[in-house]
Structure 1
Amino acid sequence: MYRRPSPGQLSFENFYLPFGGKLSGENRWVKLAELIPWESFESEYADQFSQTMGAPAKPFRVALGTLIIKEKLGISDAETVEQIRENPYLQYFLGFSEYRESAPFDASMLVHFRQRLNLELLAQVNDAVVDSVLASEGSPVAMSPESSPPSDDDEDEPPAPPNQGQLLIDTTCAPADIRYPTDLDLLNDARKASEAILDALYAQVMLSLKCKPRTYRQKARKAYLAIAKKRQPSRKLIRKGIRQQLGYVRRNLAHIDGLITLGASLSQLSRRQYRLLLVIHEVFRQQEWMYQQSVRRVDDRIVSMSQPHVRPMVRGKAGTPVEFGAKLSLSCVRGCVFLERLSWDAFNESQHLQHQVEAFRRRFGHYPFSVHADQIYRTRANRRWCKARGIRLSGPPLGRPQQDPQVQTQLKQQACEDEKVRVQIEGKFGQAKRRFGLNRVMAKLADTAASAIAITFLVMNLERWLSHFLSFIFGVGLLVLESVMELSGLPWGFARASQRIWLWPSQMGCLYDLMHGICSIYFLSKPYISSVQPKHIFLDFLVRKYRSQPRQELEF
Structure 2
Amino acid sequence: MALRETQHSAETDLFRQELANLINLRHPLVQLAQKIDWQSCEQRFGGLYKAGIGRPGHPIRLMVALQLLKHTSNLSDEEVVAVWVENPYWQHFCGEQYFRHDLPIDPSLMTGFRKRIGEPGCEFILGLTVQAGLATKTVVKTSLAVVNVDTTVQDKAVAFPTDARLLHKARVALVRQARKLGINLRQSYERVGQAAFVRSQRYAHARQMNRAKAQNRKLRTYLGRVIRDIERKTQSDDTRTGRMDKLLEIAARIHSQPRRRSEGDPPKLYSVHAPEVECIAKGKIHKQYEFGVKVGIVSTSKESFVVGAKSLSGNPYDGHTLQACIEQAERVSGFKAKEAYTDRGYRGHGCNSGTLKVWIAGAKRGVTAAIHRKLKRRNAVEPVIGHMKSDGRLARNFLKGIEGDAMNALLCGAGHNMRKILKKLRLLCAQWGITLRQLLSAASAYAIRARPAVP
Once the 2 structures are TM-superposed, how far is the Cα of residue 290 of structure 1 from its aligned partner?
A: 1.1
Of 172-181 and 340-349, more deviation after overlay is shown by: 340-349
- 1:74 to partner: Cα distance: 2.4
Q: Is the 8 A contact 2:320 2:350 kept in 1?
A: no
Tell me if the contact between 2:29 and 2:422 (Cα under 8 Å) persists in the aligned partners.
no
1-structure distance, mates of 2:358, 2:40: 36
What aligned pairs does 1:111-510 form with structure 2 within 5 A after superposition? 111-137=111-137, 141=141, 165-201=145-181, 203=182, 213-230=186-203, 231-261=205-235, 263=237, 265-267=239-241, 274-275=242-243, 278-290=246-258, 299-333=266-300, 334=302, 335-357=304-326, 363=333, 365-368=335-338, 370-379=339-348, 381-382=350-351, 389=355, 391=357, 393-397=359-363, 417-474=373-430, 476=431
8 Å CA contact retained: 1:170, 1:374? yes
Deviation of 1:171 (Å): 0.8
Change (3 A) 1:298 1:23: farther
CA contact (8 A) 1:279 1:308 kept: no
CA contact (8 A) 1:328 1:343 kept: yes
Give the match for residue 513 of structure 1.
Answer: none
Alpha-carbon separation, structure 2, partners of 1:458 and 1:390 = 24
Secondary structure in 2 matching 1:137: coil
Partner of residue 515, structure 1 = none
Q: Which amino acid is the alignment partner of residue 74 of structure 1?
A: N
- Does the 8 A contact of 2:310 with 2:406 survive in 1? no
Residue by residue over 1:405-456, the C-alpha shift from the partner in whole angstroms, topping out at 9 and shown as x without a partner, is: xx9xx97988974542111110100111111221122334544453333222
**Amino acid paired to 1:59:** P
Measure how far apart 1:389 and its partner are.
4.9
Does 2:30 correspond to 1:50? no
Determine the C-alpha separation between the residues in 2 that align with 1:190 and 1:354: 38
Distance 2:216 2:45 in 1: 48
Greater RCO structure (CA 8 Å; 6+ sep):
2
**Judging changes above 3 Å, is the alpha-carbon distance between structure 1 residues 138 and 61 closer, same or farther for their aligned structure 2 residues?**
closer
Q: Is 1:197–1:277's contact at 8 Å kept on the other side of the alignment? A: no
Q: What is the alpha-carbon distance in structure 2 between the residues aligned to residue 317 and residue 103 of structure 1?
A: 43
Q: CA deviation at 1:41?
A: 2.3
Quick one: distance in 2 between partners of 1:390 and 1:266?
A: 53
Partner-residue secondary structure (3-state), 1:339: strand
Residues 57 and 470 from structure 1, CA distance in 2 versus in 1: closer, same or farther, beyond 3 angstroms?
same
Partner amino acid, structure 2, of 1:251: R
Kept after mapping to 1: 8 A contact 2:309/2:410: no
Identical-residue share of aligned pairs (%) = 19
| Preserved CA contact (<8 Å) 2:27 2:426 | no
CA contact (8 A) 2:298 2:309 kept: yes
Letter of the structure 2 residue corresponding to residue 129 of structure 1 = T
CA contact (8 A) 1:198 1:255 kept: no
CA contact (8 A) 2:129 2:418 kept: yes
Q: Which piece of structure 1 moves more, 348-357 or 178-187?
A: 348-357
Aligned AA for 1:174?
A: Q
> Matches of 2:15 and 2:280 in 1, distance apart?
49
**SS of residue matched to 2:257:** helix
Does structure 1 conserve the Cα–Cα contact (< 8 Å) formed by 2:167 and 2:219? yes
Q: Which moved more, 1:79-88 or 1:412-421?
A: 412-421
1:498 — aligned with what?
none
Change (3 A) 1:215 1:164: closer
SS at 2:398 equivalent: coil
Bigger Rg over Cα: 1
Q: 2:130 touches 2:307 (CA, 8 Å); kept in 1?
A: no
Per the TM alignment, residue 30 of structure 1 is displaced from its structure 2 partner at its CA by 0.9
Moved more, 249-258 or 163-172: 163-172
TM-score (norm 1): 0.68
On the 8 A contact 2:308/2:328 being kept in 1, the answer is no
- Residues 1:88 and 1:379: Cα distance change in structure 2 (over 3 Å): same
- Residue by residue, what CA displacement relative to the aligned partner does 1:351-409 show, whole Å, maximum 9, x if unpaired? 132344455666565542x3210102122745xx57x75725133348xxxxxxxx9xx
> In the aligned structure 2, how far is the partner of 1:219 from the partner of 1:138?
60
Counterparts of residues 104-115 of structure 1 (less than 5 Å):
104-115=104-115
Kindly report the root-mean-square deviation, in angstroms, between the aligned alpha carbons of the 2 structures.
Answer: 3.7
- 1:536–1:553 Cα contact (<8 Å) kept: no
Question: Counterpart of 1:240 in structure 2: which amino acid?
Answer: A
For 2:305 and 2:144, how far apart are their aligned partners in 1?
A: 16
Q: Which residue number in structure 2 is paired with residue 501 of structure 1?
A: none
Find the counterpart in structure 2 of residue 510 from structure 1: none
Provide closer, same or farther for how the CA distance between residues 15 and 397 of structure 1 changes in structure 2, counting only shifts above 3 A: farther
Residue 310 of structure 2 contacts residue 325 of structure 2 at CA under 8 Å; is this kept in 1?
Answer: no
Match of 1:493 in 2: none
From the superposition, tell whether residues 224 and 26 of structure 1 become closer, same or farther in structure 2 (CA, over 3 Å): same
Q: CA deviation at 1:536?
A: 4.3
Residues 321 and 100 of structure 1: is their aligned pair in 2 closer, same or farther, counting only changes over 3 Å? same
Does the Cα contact within 8 Å between 1:325 and 1:344 map onto a contact in 2?
A: no
Distance in 1 of aligned mates of 2:87 and 2:119:
29
What is the distance in 1 between the residues matched to 2:380 and 2:217?
Answer: 49
Match of 1:146 in 2: none
Aligned to 1:467, what secondary structure does the other structure show?
Answer: helix
What code does the residue aligned with 1:17 have?
A: Q
CA 46–431 in structure 1, closer or farther in 2 if over 3 Å, else same:
same
The alpha carbon displacement at 1:37 in A equals 0.9
Contact 1:194 1:277 in 2 (8 A): no
The whole-number CA distance in structure 1 between the counterparts of 2:235 and 2:279 is: 37
Q: What is the TM-score normalised by the length of structure 2?
A: 0.82
